[in-house]
Amino acid sequence: MIKYLMKRMGLMFITFIITIFLFFFFIKLMPDNFVPSPGVGNEWYEQLAEKEGWNEPIIVQFGLWIKNIFTEGNFGYSHIMNRDVSEAYFKKIPASIKINIVPYFLSVPLAIIIGVYAAIKKNKWQDTVISVWIMVFISIPFFVVAVLSQYFFYWKWHLAPDYKIATASEFTELGFWYGISTYILPVIVLTVVSIPGMARYVRAELTEQMTLDYMLLARSKGLTQKQAVFGHALRNALVPILPGIFIGIIGILDGGLITEKIFRVDGTGRMYLAAFNGRDYALLMLINAFGQFLTLTSAILADVSYTLFDPRMRVGSGKLS
């Protein structure tokens, strides 16, 4: 199994290098991607040109980019921010985590509970209500839900203290509790919209597991419906779902563009939009590479968790160990 994982990781590493090189290549080809020369005799400019290899072929520049990451921790110079992009970018991660972490830890258990409840009450009215709710929130785009919630809860009904979250200065001016209270609306919205997808998945998996023969055997050996569902079906249903839950943890690091735009979170998502609007290529390169890194790490994590939770994967199917 370790061999299999090593092979997967090797392949993913190759994929990673190829894709970020493609990003790099494409970004370097942008016609306006250069640091304007401030005139002759600027030492720092020449040093930078030397360090990032601006006059070299792209493949060499790519090599230098990687080298600089490992030797100096530099991810590229942004002439828009006048500094190395990584400093600015990684500082924004905590703000993104702050807004994402509570919805994540709320939505996972709630989604499982709701999914299980719907599966147990399958075809009863409770299931119908949950299914309708799931359908609505899966269908309506997140940004619509978020914007409408701002409109109704803040502008119309005045239930929320603000339509955006408090900034650091507002935290100090208006007090900690006020600051926290501005988080309530976005946290609720994020939780409510992240439940349905997973709840639907849980419901589907569990309904399928409950129709399988081993449930009949479990019942016929004397387990109650409850014991059989929670002892057998639920565990089996969660096997394909758990990797997704783990990937969610990584997703916390990555701020959502929409959330951060709508609720004015000063996190990585907004930085991405700023980089996009300001054509900050060094920053775009960093964010895309980092995003790609997170995606592929999640994929590996998913593989590992599959093998952890499913004994069939662990020992190789059908073979005696």
Q: Which of residues 198-257 bind other proteins (CB under 8 A)?
A: 200, 203-204, 207-208, 212-214, 216-225, 227, 231-232, 235-236, 239, 257
The answer to the question of residue 277 lying near other proteins (CB under 8 A) is: yes
Assign residue 41 a region (left: φ > 0; alpha: ψ between -120 and 50; beta: otherwise): left
Q: What residues numbered 174-203 form the site for other proteins, per CB under 8 A?
A: 200, 203
The answer to the question of residue 1 lying near other proteins (CB under 8 A) is: no
Of the ranges 49-57, 63-71, 106-114, 303-311, which one interacts with other proteins (CB under 8 A)?
303-311
* Cβ(165)–Cβ(263) below 8 Å: yes
* Cβ(193)–Cβ(201) below 8 Å: no
From CA 164, how far away is CA 83, in angstroms rounded?
29
The answer to the question of residue 136 lying near other proteins (CB under 8 A) is: yes
Question: In sequence order, which ranges of the chain are alpha helices (DSSP H)?
Answer: 2-28, 43-52, 58-72, 85-120, 125-139, 142-149, 168-174, 176-210, 213-220, 225-228, 234-238, 242-253, 257-262, 268-278, 281-309, 311-315
From CA 49, how far away is CA 297, in angstroms rounded?
32
**Minimal distance in Å, beta carbon 109 to other proteins?**
21
**Minimal distance in Å, beta carbon 30 to other proteins?**
6
**Number of Cβ atoms within 10 Å of the Cβ of 75:** 23
The answer to the question of residue 61 lying near other proteins (CB under 8 A) is: no
In the bound state with other proteins, the residue whose beta carbon lies nearer, of 51 and 122, is 122
- What are phi and psi for residue 230, nearest 5 degrees? -80, -30
* Residue with tokens 């790519």, as numbered in its chain: 62
Q: What residues numbered 145-174 form the site for other proteins, per CB under 8 A?
A: 147-148, 150-151, 155-156
Member of 144, 168, 173, 176 binding other proteins (CB under 8 A):
144
* Cβ(159)–Cβ(153) below 8 Å: yes
**Minimal distance in Å, beta carbon 303 to other proteins?**
13
How far does Cα 125 stand from its chain's mean position? 34
**Minimal distance in Å, beta carbon 47 to other proteins?**
28
Member of 2, 41, 44, 139 binding other proteins (CB under 8 A):
139
The answer to the question of residue 305 lying near other proteins (CB under 8 A) is: no
The answer to the question of residue 319 lying near other proteins (CB under 8 A) is: yes
Q: What residues numbered 114-133 form the site for other proteins, per CB under 8 A?
A: 122-123
